[in-house]
Amino acid sequence: MAIKFNKVALSINAHPDDAEAWNAGTLKLLRDKGYKIVIATMTGGDLGGCNMTMEETARVRFEEAKKAAAVLDAEYYTMGGIDGFLYDTKEMRLKIISLIRKVRAGVIFTHLAVDYHSDHRTTAAIVEAAAMVSSLDTVPVPEKPVDVTPLLYHSSPLTLTDPMGSQIVPPHFLVDVTSVIETKKQMLGCHVSQIELMRHMHKMDDFFGFVLEGNRNYGKMAGVEYAEVYWQHLGGGFQKEPQVQEDLSEYLINKM
């Protein structure tokens, strides 16, 4: 008999605006299917400010992220890591295990292990390790273990290449997010501080337009206007039920 996973989708990423950039459309579709959404960031995005101290930036970005999460009635947590200096530590793994247990996550989204950003790669490693043991009662955290290891999904970097420029394994599926693209834009639009930062750092006038351009390019591969791409974690120790794919079947494209 197929295992049923809690309809709680937890999106854990490195920085405020990552969930919005990489999987907001999918989270909105899941919410509309009755899932509870939880968004967490490993860091406060403290480095991502212009003319502000790291503390000020983290404060501003916390409010922006909370506002974006509220669009999906989602809870928002930040885990206390430092932007640009995220390490895979015992403390961080335990914090993520506590969070998975506290919110009773059935489905987890995080970055891909070969993402372009080192904080994203570290997040992927922490989340994978934490998720794998979240159902074990020997782990030294106070929260009650989850009944079953949550399903783990990885979201796309900006392109389908690794940091060395090599093609990565094709996504397992794409989600057509055309019908919810306005929600995604609304969530991205909450991150006002990032628009200025991208202008300063990458001389990029329209960062969120750039993100949406990525969704448009993925859409082209799938014959729809906008798409998000995913890989399901299929390594040993993880359940392989295609629950998200089934729950979003009318939006699913797996012809890669």
Q: How many CB atoms lie within 10 A of CB 255?
A: 9
Q: How far is the CB of 21 from Zn ion (least distance, A)?
A: 8
Q: How far is the CB of 123 from Zn ion (least distance, A)?
A: 8
Q: How far is the CB of 255 from Zn ion (least distance, A)?
A: 29
Q: Which structure tokens are listed for 193?
A: 């501080």
Q: Cβ closer to Zn ion: 161 or 254? A: 161
C-alpha 86/C-alpha 14 separation (Å) is 8
Which residue stretch of 11-19, 30-38, 63-71, 234-242 sits at the interface with Zn ion (rule: CB under 5 A)?
11-19
- Residue 15 makes contact with Zn ion by CB under 5 A: yes
Tell me the residue number closest to Zn ion, measured at CB: 15
Q: How far is the CB of 222 from Zn ion (least distance, A)?
A: 24
Show contacts with Zn ion in window 128-187 (CB under 5 A).
Answer: none
Query: Do the Cβ atoms of 9 and 38 come closer than 8 Å?
Result: yes
Which residue stretch of 14-22, 222-230, 232-240, 248-256 sits at the interface with Zn ion (rule: CB under 5 A)?
14-22
How many residues sit close enough to Zn ion to count as binding (CB under 5 A)?
3
Q: Which structure tokens are listed for 218?
A: 């993925």
In the list 8, 9, 18, 99, the residue contacting Zn ion (rule: CB under 5 A) is: 18
Q: Cβ closer to Zn ion: 46 or 176? A: 46
- Residue 20 makes contact with Zn ion by CB under 5 A: no
- Residue 14 makes contact with Zn ion by CB under 5 A: yes
Which residue stretch of 18-26, 84-92, 100-108, 180-188 sits at the interface with Zn ion (rule: CB under 5 A)?
18-26
Which residue stretch of 16-24, 52-60, 137-145, 200-208 sits at the interface with Zn ion (rule: CB under 5 A)?
16-24
Give me the residues that bind Zn ion (CB under 5 A), please.
14-15, 18
